[in-house]
Amino acid sequence: MSLKNYVITRILLAIPMMFILLALIFFILRIMPGDPVLAIVGGKAPQHVIEKLREQMGLNKSIPAQFVDYVLSMLKGDLGKSTLTNRPVLDELKERLPATIELTAFAFVMAVLIGTFWGAEAARKKDRSLDVGARMFAIVTYAIPVFWLGLMMQLLFGMVLKWLPVAGRISPALSFTPITGFYLVDSIIKGNWAALWDAFKHLIMPGVALGLIISSIFLRMVRNNTVLMLSKDFVKAAVARGIRERAVLYGHALKNALVPILTIMGLQLALLLAGAVLTETTFSWPGVGSYLVQKIRYRDFPAIQGTIVIFALIVVVISICVDIINALVDPRVRY
């Protein structure tokens, strides 16, 4: 199969996957305790008001009919209106999504860099200090809850040392008006270096706190897989051809070690989204995660549903990307 056909097949396969996710979200939200109408009007509203609202929200229809309505509006890209603000959920999410993407991208890149380089070097120097250090790092970061780590970092770097800001994305004093919503990108576009530095400083703590969660997992996997690959015949054969140690490590051992990890990394990104909810709350980061927490507090069902749908969509897109990258790296996948 050519790469193009593989990509097309993979995207087509994602459609039923997305459909199943949509269905799951719908039914889980129906099963969850709490009545969306009562959540809006409060427990003491007269019966006819409640009935009218039910009708407006389509909640008087049968469950299957509601499901059809829901799927159709999702297909149109209509996520409904927030019951709290009465604004379209999609608009609200669009404002918040860049913040979350910026945060998770930072965390992810950090985890990938730590995982790949430290992992590969630890594998090369097995059981030496770099490797032992990696093991300790993995245990410690794996055991620490992200919100606690966030709080401790705020305390140390924010309160005591005063190196980094403890909340938000940018100092209000800069009165920064975003273009794309990605502050790092925006400040570069504008050539506003003060804003770039400020936004970056805001990003460091939440980004590191979030990145640490998955970097330890990633580091362990890269290290173990690379150790395994270094013992393979093709590595010995490469050494026997005079290929330099560095090229053998990165070009032969690591490249093969990463093949199975790529898939897992995609799943880790999903985990990262979950971590983002906690991190954003800790650091008052105005992203989708803190949005979700806020909406759950007020039982804003359309907003909750819309946010989860977007999360699901992101996970599906990531899994497609992961599979395509996998096919690029490992030829055996696409034949």
> What does the binding site for another protein look like in residue numbers (CB under 8 A)?
232-234, 236-245, 247, 251-252, 255-256, 259, 329-332, 335
DSSP three-state, residue 40: helix
Closer residue to another protein (CB): 94 or 125: 125
Closer residue to another protein (CB): 252 or 295: 252
Other beta carbons less than 10 A from residue 194's beta carbon: 11
The least CB distance from residue 267 to another protein, in Å, is 21
Closer residue to another protein (CB): 203 or 253: 253
Closer residue to another protein (CB): 166 or 258: 258
Residue whose tokens read 């330890």: 216
DSSP three-state, residue 31: helix
Amino acid at 73: S
The least CB distance from residue 260 to another protein, in Å, is 12
Closer residue to another protein (CB): 208 or 227: 227
Closer residue to another protein (CB): 39 or 239: 239
Within a 13 Å sphere around the CA of 58, how many CA atoms are in the beta-carbon half? 12
Q: Where are the beta strands (DSSP E) in the chain?
A: none
Amino acid at 145: P
Other beta carbons less than 10 A from residue 130's beta carbon: 15
Burial class (CB in 10 A: 0-12, 13-18, 19+), 181: middle
The least CB distance from residue 319 to another protein, in Å, is 21
Provide the Cα torsion 94, 95, 97, 103; round to 10°.
Answer: 160
The least CB distance from residue 67 to another protein, in Å, is 44
Query: How far is CA 17 from each of CA 11, 20, 22, 319, rounded to the nearest angstrom?
Result: 10, 5, 9, 11
Closer residue to another protein (CB): 216 or 326: 326
Residue whose tokens read 């920064």: 176
The least CB distance from residue 254 to another protein, in Å, is 11
Distance CA 186, CA 178 (A): 6
The least CB distance from residue 237 to another protein, in Å, is 4
The least CB distance from residue 282 to another protein, in Å, is 40
End-to-end CA distance of the chain: 5
The least CB distance from residue 296 to another protein, in Å, is 44
Query: Six-digit token pair at 240?
Result: 């026997």
Closer residue to another protein (CB): 133 or 251: 251
